[in-house]
Structure 1
Amino acid sequence: MDLLGYLGYLTPIESASLREGTRPVFSPNDLVVYPAQGVGRVERIQRQEIGGASTEFYIVRILSNNVTLMVPVPNARNVGLRPVCSATSGEAILESLKDRSDFTGYTGQNWNRRYREYSEKLKSGALEDVAYVLKELLLIGNDKELSFGERRLLEQAMNLITLELSFCLEKPQKEIQERINSLFEDVLNKDRDE
């Protein structure tokens, strides 16, 4: 096994494709989403030699905190690097926040278990998973005061969603957050009326 595979960067198949040559999917200036970090911009594609193997890396600057990540081009899909969602998908995510059918209510379930579940969903990078965490925590927060850990996860989920939707819907992040808050007020008012 070569060093890249040994370090966990690449599987043996990816290492082989790296030696054969892999073409980048993203280009400089493309907006991408990195799981649990949020929206970033591909600054450049850079070739580096690691352990005797030469590979290309996406150099991605995360917009919310200015962190720079190096993502091996052949491993980008496996780590969850993806393009920012489309406007249609963004609107569908907002609509999904109104749906309470998958919300079971605060059950007093072990916080550690819920925290792990929510953290895994945020790390998945899937916008639907992030929306699920956001919805759950907003609805739980309506039933009880959120703990410090829950508030941190809520803030992270809100930031991840609002930043990505602000790019795909071409609206300010604050406007997206106000829209989400308004959606939840409508849902909660509808529940009170029933």
Structure 2
Amino acid sequence: MAKGKKIGDFRLNEFVVYPAHGVGQILSVETTEIAGTEMELFVISFAKDKMTLRVPTAKATAVGMRNLASAELVEKAMKTLKGRARVKRAMWSRRAQEYEQKINSGDLISIAEVVRDLHRNDEEREQSYSERQLYEAALERLTREVAAVDGTEEGEASEKVTGILISRAA
């Protein structure tokens, strides 16, 4: 397959977002026989996680795979981070479930909301283990996509996001 060839909404070698795993890169498209049926699959690499995922090309959009966010959407996500944390008074288990759903939705704004709501400054109360895990998962997804959209390293994107979170508290 030629570099940059378009299949549906996606191109070879471009970065995409898979809801349950975050940012990955389409390496190739392969045809495989599964249960007697020929199937065309995207081969997506998540280098940071040392994982390869195969997604049927016909089902890619249906499972929530999408192109990287636009620069405008990233800017909107950064504005979301600047807002006040909205923490509901529901039990932690219910809130944790909602946060998990937002992270796995793949929606950049929802992920930014989780980061904003779970961010703690050093002088604030301690986070529980599960709260910290959700925060770090959301932060990683957000910074990976910001880095891919901006064409920068993850460290730079992390500094950008953290800078906004810290300035919000000041």
TM range (shorter): 0.7 to 0.9
Could you give the per-residue CA deviations for residues 21-66 of structure 1, whole angstroms, max 9, x where no partner exists? xx53322201111113111110111111222221211010013212
State how many pairs are aligned. 164
Could you tell me which residue of structure 2 aligns to residue 104 of structure 1?
A: 86
1:78 is aligned, of 62, 67, 86, to: 62
Q: Identity of aligned pairs, percent?
A: 31
Q: In the alignment, does 2:13 pair up with 1:32?
A: no
**Structure 1 residues 131 and 142: alpha-carbon distance in aligned structure 2, compared to 1, 3 A threshold:** farther
Q: Give the helix-richer structure, 1 or 2.
A: 1
Q: Is the 8 A contact 1:27 1:44 kept in 2?
A: no
Please give the alpha-carbon distance, in whole angstroms, between the structure 2 residues aligned to 1:179 and 1:56: 38
List gaps (5 residues or longer) in structure 1: 1-22, 190-194
Aligned to 1:132: 113
Larger radius of gyration: 1
4+ aligned runs moved over 2 Å, structure 1: 103-107, 139-144
The residue identity in structure 2 corresponding to 1:29 is N
**TM-score normalized with structure 1 length:** 0.77
- One-letter code aligned to 2:136: E
Counterpart residue number, 1:13:
none
TM (normalized to structure 2)?
Answer: 0.88
> Does structure 2 conserve the Cα–Cα contact (< 8 Å) formed by 1:41 and 1:61?
yes
Question: 1:162 is matched with which residue: 119, 133, 143?
Answer: 143
Alignment of 1:1-194 (within 5 A): 24-100=8-84, 103-105=85-87, 107=89, 109-138=90-119, 143-189=124-170
Structure 2's unaligned 5+ residue stretches are 1-6
